[in-house]
Structure 1
Amino acid sequence: MKRRDLLAWLSSLGAFPSTRAADGVTGVVVLHGKQGRPNGVYDIAQGLRSARCKVATPEMAWSQRREFDIPYPAALEEIAAACKDLQADGATRLVVGGHSLGANAALAYAASRRPLAGVFALSPGHVPEARGFQREVAPGVQKAREMIARGAGEEKASFPDTNQGRSRQVRTSANAYLSYFDAEGLGSMTRSCRELPAGLPLFMAVGESENILAYARGTLFPSAPKNARSVFVAVPGDHFSAPRAALPSLLEWTAALAT
Structure 2
Amino acid sequence: ILDIRMLPYKLNLILYFKKAIDMKFLLSIFFLLTLTINAKASQNCAVILMHGKWGLPYSTYLKILSEKIEKLCLIERPEMPWSRNRNYDQTYESLLNELQKKSENYRKKGIKKIIFAGHSFGANASMAYQAYIGDADALIAIAPGHNPYGMYHIFGLVPGHALKVDNAKKNIDEGKPEILIKFIDLNYGVSIGMKKEFEIRSDIFFSYYNPEGLAHMVRTAKEFKKATPFLYIEGDHDNIKVGSKYSFEKTPFHPMSKYQTVVADHAMAPEVASDLVIEWLKEIVK
Cα drift, residue 145 of structure 1: 2.2
Q: How does 1:1-259 map to 2 (within 5 A)?
A: 25-40=44-59, 41-51=62-72, 53-130=73-150, 131-132=153-154, 135-136=157-158, 137-164=161-188, 165-213=193-241, 215-259=242-286
Gaps of 5+ in 1: 1-17
Equivalent position SS for 1:98: strand
Equivalents in 1 of 2:166, 2:132: separation in Å?
A: 26
Equivalents in 2 of 1:56, 1:191: separation in Å?
A: 27
Equivalents in 1 of 2:119, 2:181: separation in Å?
A: 27
Equivalents in 2 of 1:147, 1:171: separation in Å?
A: 15
Cα drift, residue 19 of structure 1: 10
Cα drift, residue 254 of structure 1: 1.1
Q: Give the AA of the match of 2:249.
A: P
TM-score, with normalisation over the residues of structure 2? Answer: 0.77
1:112–1:145 Cα change, 3 Å: closer
Q: Deviations over 1:115-139 (max 9, x none)?
A: 2210110100001122438942313
Q: Deviations over 1:87-117 (max 9, x none)?
A: 3554221000101111101100011243221
| Identity fraction in percent | 28
Instruction: Give the number of the structure whose alpha-carbon radius of gyration is greater.
Output: 2
Q: Deviations over 1:197-256 (max 9, x none)?
A: 44311101111111332x232211111122210011110111100111111111111111
Q: Deviations over 1:16-74 (max 9, x none)?
A: xx89669x6011100011111101233322210022x0111111111111111111100
TM-score, with normalisation over the residues of structure 1? Answer: 0.85
Tell me the number of residue pairs that the alignment of Structure 1 and Structure 2 aligns. Answer: 239
Contact residue 69 and residue 176 of structure 1 kept, 8 A: yes
1:166–1:156 Cα change, 3 Å: same
- Measured on the aligned residues, the alpha-carbon RMSD in Å equals 2.2
Equivalents in 1 of 2:144, 2:266: separation in Å?
A: 9
